[in-house]
Chains A and B, each alone.
Chain A
Amino acid sequence: MPEADAPKIGREEVAHLARLARLALDDSELDLLAGQLDVILRAVAQISEVTDAADVPPTSHAVPLENVTRPDVVVPSLPRDQVLAGAPAAENGRFRVPQILTDEA
């Protein structure tokens, strides 16, 4: 297969990324997304060909700004009842989260 036709991303890599992002994808979804991501990556590769040739640095920010800071001044925090109001569960003023390590560890 010529280089240009090789998929930019495989099904296994998509499955790996899905696992890292804690997304439960079934086989048909993996196939679908692998295909879609491949199209996107090909498009980006095409742009890269042009920008690389013209020595254009990658853009990380859309606005040409630098050094946006705030002074080191304390402002009031949220009241705790509001902080915890959105939590699925709370206990003793803390967020309660499910078991972190299961028996596989």
Chain B
Amino acid sequence: MSYEKDLEEFEPVIGLETHVELGTASKMFCGCATEFGAEPNTQTCPVCLGLPGSLPVVNAKSIESAIRIGLALHCDIATWCRFARKNYFYPDMPKNFQTSQYDEPLCTDGYLDVDVDGSVVRVPIERVHLEEDTGKTLHVGGATGRIHGATHSLVDYNRAGIPLVEIVTKPVVGTGVKAAAVAKAYVAELRDVLRGLEVSDVRMEQGSLRCDVNTSLNRPGEPWGTRTETKNVNSLRSVERAVRSEVERQAALLRSGGRITQETRHFHEDTGTTSPGRSKEEATDYRYFPEPDLVPVAPDPAWVKELKEALPEAPSVARKRLVGRLGLSDLDAAAMVNAGVLDLVLATTQAGAPAAEARNWWLGHLAQSANAAGVEAGELAITPAQVARVVELVAAGDLTAGLAKQVVDGVLAGEGSPDDVIAARGLAVVKDEGALTAAVEAALAADPDAAEKVRGGKVAAVGALVGRVMKETRGQADAAAVRVLLLDKLGVSD
């Protein structure tokens, strides 16, 4: 809880390394399929298994995708660069090296503007480079799949060799108390950019977008502090929590006169805290050298220019345009960006709902539901089209506001579409005039005092009668209509 206070005393410097699995059909250096969730080791071949004598050949689409990502992030594109071998021993790569890029990345020196609390923060990009993903290890014999205490491990190389783009920011300074929000907004914006480019399915929960978050603190006027690198940060919410948790941990340590150790830390989703990873004393000794089996990549500047001209509209620009067209205010737009619901609101309007209704649902009941469940609004089990359907039913008088919430809750609980929930729970508004009239008569008979007060001019007393009718109809009547009906019966008008 000390985060805000900590950042009055210390200045944060953050940096983000994001790995994106490209959505190519085949792997980076061989023709194996890249489908997620296939049976273990069914998408492997001599190249991605690193068998002797096999030779890699670069997937043309991966180069194009990486360049398009670089262009969308306003980077310079190299006219000539090479792959490099990053040598290390770990069973996730059977070759004992990962093919990556070292001092000659494909794209350098860009930026991404992100919207935080209605103001734009420019996050500088250091580099964008291409590499290959590693295999997946499953640790056996230890507690809950942890590597510590495991007796042995099992490896699936289906993921090994899937093209991976690494996007590295420069140190982001001067964000102050917004550090955690900037980190989250950056990853969210980056995800939207990548989705717009159609280069990856960017599903954090499936690992096709993964984040490492660097954090350090220094007192004003002093040099930057020692940084830690938090791995395993695999949701937008976690990006924000990881920064907060590291700020709080480091501030407490610094204040008590301690020193920060430069280390890798692991983020734990359950507690929202980090713990030290294993120390790799030789971690930086990767002995990179130019990959002899792959020839240099020299993108033709004319082709790069073509790719640049064909880039889709940036999501931030598209958003501004749509927000303007829908007549939403900048303040509304900022609130929606903060809650991560702007795109959902826009999608809901595209599905036919008026902007104000869409906004109210996503900033109101749905934002609360997401918060209560500890997930992002976009992860809720309801689609913008379903929200639009509920809005439509309310507008048609088939649902009251109260019933609409029950319908939405049913959809969130996995009970099916709004229409399924209405049918299953019997939630339709009582439109049967006879039933409604009977309920009104019963209410008047049951509470003659209230009826008398209303007749006597105390219109507010009608509330008690409306309540009786609503109870009688189990909330399925339209309260406004009931009120009109009651006043009418009592010969009173507003």
Which residues of A approach B to under 8 Å, CB–CB?
16, 19-20, 22, 60-61, 63, 65-75, 77-78, 80, 83-84, 86, 91-101, 105
Collect the chain A residues with CB atoms within 8 Å of residue B298's CB: 66-67
5 contacts between A and B (CB under 8 A): A70-B59, A74-B33, A75-B32, A83-B157, A97-B137
User: Do the beta carbons of B31 and A70 come within 8 Å of each other?
Assistant: yes
User: Do the beta carbons of B295 and A66 come within 8 Å of each other?
Assistant: yes
Q: Does B39 contact A (CB under 8 A)?
A: yes
- Stretch from B148-156, B329-337, B448-456, B469-477 at the A interface: B148-156
- Find residues 131-162 in chain B having any chain A CB closer than 8 Å to their own CB: 137-140, 147-148, 150-157
Alpha-carbon gap, A102 to B148, bound state (A): 8
Collect the chain A residues with CB atoms within 8 Å of residue B139's CB: 100
Alpha-carbon gap, A84 to B49, bound state (A): 10
Collect the chain A residues with CB atoms within 8 Å of residue B412's CB: none
Alpha-carbon gap, A8 to B268, bound state (A): 46
Alpha-carbon gap, A75 to B25, bound state (A): 10
Q: Tell me the smallest distance from the CB of B160 to a CB of chain A, in Å.
A: 11
Q: Does B220 contact A (CB under 8 A)?
A: no
Collect the chain B residues with CB atoms within 8 Å of residue A101's CB: 147-148, 150, 278
User: Do the beta carbons of B43 and A72 come within 8 Å of each other?
Assistant: no
Q: Tell me the smallest distance from the CB of A7 to a CB of chain B, in Å.
A: 20
- Stretch from B201-209, B221-229, B282-290 at the A interface: B282-290
**Residue of A whose beta carbon sits closest to that of B286:** A20
Collect the chain B residues with CB atoms within 8 Å of residue A75's CB: 26, 30-32, 45
Q: Tell me the smallest distance from the CB of B417 to a CB of chain A, in Å.
A: 35
Q: Does B87 contact A (CB under 8 A)?
A: yes
Apart from A68-B57, A86-B51, 16 more pairs, CB < 8 Å: A71-B61, A72-B24, A73-B25, A74-B32, A77-B32, A77-B33, A78-B46, A78-B49, A92-B154, A93-B39, A93-B156, A97-B91, A99-B151, A99-B153, A100-B147, A100-B150
**Residue of B whose beta carbon sits closest to that of A95:** B155
Query: What does the 1/0 interface line of B28-51 toward A look like (CB < 8 Å)?
Result: 001111000001111111100101
> Known: A83-B41, A95-B41, A99-B151. Is A69-B59 also a contact (CB below 8 A)?
yes
User: Do the beta carbons of A97 and B155 come within 8 Å of each other?
Assistant: yes
**Residue of A whose beta carbon sits closest to that of B146:** A101
Q: How many chain-B residues does the 8 Å CB contact rule pick out?
A: 58
Q: Tell me the smallest distance from the CB of B28 to a CB of chain A, in Å.
A: 10
Alpha-carbon gap, A36 to B298, bound state (A): 37
Collect the chain A residues with CB atoms within 8 Å of residue B296's CB: 60-61, 66-67
Collect the chain B residues with CB atoms within 8 Å of residue A66's CB: 80, 295-298
Q: Tell me the smallest distance from the CB of A8 to a CB of chain B, in Å.
A: 17
Q: Does B307 contact A (CB under 8 A)?
A: no
User: Do the beta carbons of B63 and A69 come within 8 Å of each other?
Assistant: yes
User: Do the beta carbons of A72 and B148 come within 8 Å of each other?
Assistant: no
User: Do the beta carbons of A96 and B154 come within 8 Å of each other?
Assistant: yes
Collect the chain B residues with CB atoms within 8 Å of residue A97's CB: 91, 137, 152-155
> Known: A97-B152, A100-B91. Is A65-B26 also a contact (CB below 8 A)?
no
What are the 4 closest A-B residue pairs judged by CB atoms, nearest first?
Answer: A75-B31, A72-B61, A94-B154, A60-B290
User: Do the beta carbons of B58 and A69 come within 8 Å of each other?
Assistant: yes
Q: Which of the residues B60, B153, B157 comes within 8 Å of A72, measured between beta carbons?
A: B60
**Residue of A whose beta carbon sits closest to that of B40:** A93
Alpha-carbon gap, A11 to B25, bound state (A): 48
Collect the chain A residues with CB atoms within 8 Å of residue B150's CB: 99-101
- Find residues 99-144 in chain B having any chain A CB closer than 8 Å to their own CB: 137-140
> Known: A22-B89, A61-B295. Is A72-B59 also a contact (CB below 8 A)?
yes
User: Do the beta carbons of A74 and B25 come within 8 Å of each other?
Assistant: yes
**Residue of B whose beta carbon sits closest to that of A66:** B298
Q: Which of the residues B42, B82, B290 comes within 8 Å of A77, measured between beta carbons?
A: B42
Collect the chain A residues with CB atoms within 8 Å of residue B42's CB: 77, 80, 93
Scoring B57, B80, B139, B155 by chain A CB atoms within 10 A of each residue's CB, the highest score goes to B155
Query: What does the 1/0 interface line of B5-39 toward A look like (CB < 8 Å)?
Result: 00000000000000000001110001111000001
Q: Does B292 contact A (CB under 8 A)?
A: yes
**Residue of B whose beta carbon sits closest to that of A60:** B290
User: Do the beta carbons of B41 and A80 come within 8 Å of each other?
Assistant: yes
Query: What does the 1/0 interface line of B363-389 toward A look like (CB < 8 Å)?
Result: 000000000000000000000000000
Alpha-carbon gap, A78 to B138, bound state (A): 22
User: Do the beta carbons of A70 and B148 come within 8 Å of each other?
Assistant: no
- Find residues 296-333 in chain B having any chain A CB closer than 8 Å to their own CB: 296-299
User: Do the beta carbons of A72 and B25 come within 8 Å of each other?
Assistant: yes
Q: Does B62 contact A (CB under 8 A)?
A: yes
Alpha-carbon gap, A4 to B366, bound state (A): 74
Alpha-carbon gap, A61 to B294, bound state (A): 9
Q: Tell me the smallest distance from the CB of B200 to a CB of chain A, in Å.
A: 14
